[in-house]
Amino acid sequence: MEIVRKTIINDEEYLRQISEPVSFEKGDYKQDIELIEKFCLETECFALAAIQIGIPKRIIYLRLTNPDIELEENPEYNEGKVLINPVIISRKGKTKYWEACWSCLDNTGLVNRPYEMVIEYYNIDGNKEKETFKGFEATVLSHELDHLDGILHMYVAEQILMLTRDERKEFRKENPYEVISETCEYITKNS
């Protein structure tokens, strides 16, 4: 099956839909995960929600959640964490980061995210897990969780800049990931 990246150019309405829960009875979700992993490994993608390649299911793939690792220097690096039907249990703290997205092209947005998130999800074997994600890992995961609910980072950003991949890498050197608080109450724009 060919992997087709969905972008805001032709697919914004598609990307804004709410993804459906995975049914473990069907079993086809493992093939979906293989496609998501293939896309992540063939690109410099930190993480991906299934909807971004035309699979409107509640699946997230985390490849890189460590900001100190460069995929250009470590192209084989892959955390390979899969979260199926994730649910946010709690969030706290506040961070800021100039986020980019495979679906949103050169739109680079300054986005507030929680510093810490507790998530319940199912792993690839269908077993329920509960895990705490902190720091940059929580930022990456929060971005992907938004995708499952049809939310694009450029619509929750404080500011948007149009930056190419190379421009963004340079810009982030002067404007790195910022932890504002590890413990404050997390308040979303919609709160």
**SS percent in the chain: helix, strand, coil, step 5:** 25, 30, 45
pTM check: above 0.85:
yes
Q: Which pLDDT value is given to residue 191?
A: 41
Which of the residues 42, 137, 144, 167 is marked catalytic?
A: 144
Instruction: Report the DSSP beta bridge partners of residue 20.
Output: 57
C-alpha 28/C-alpha 35 separation (Å) is 11
C-alpha 126/C-alpha 26 separation (Å) is 12
Q: Which pLDDT value is given to residue 44?
A: 83
Q: Which amino acid is at 71?
A: L
C-alpha 135/C-alpha 176 separation (Å) is 13
**Residues constituting the chain:** 191
Q: Which pLDDT value is given to residue 70?
A: 83
| 3-state SS, residue 123 | coil
Catalytic (active site) residue 158: no
C-alpha 187/C-alpha 122 separation (Å) is 26
Yes or no: say if 125 and 134 are a contact pair by the CB < 8 Å rule: no
* Ordered structural domains, the chain, with CATH: 12-185 (3.90.45.10)
For residue 86, give Cα distances in angstroms to 40, 73, 95, 142, 143. 19, 31, 21, 11, 13
Q: Which pLDDT value is given to residue 113?
A: 97
Q: Which amino acid is at 165?
A: R
Write out the chain's pLDDT in tens, 191 residues: 678 899 999 999 999 999 999 999 877 899 999 999 999 999 888 999 999 999 999 999 999 998 888 888 888 899 999 999 999 999 999 999 999 999 999 999 999 999 999 999 999 999 999 999 999 999 999 999 999 999 999 999 999 999 999 999 999 999 999 999 999 999 876 44
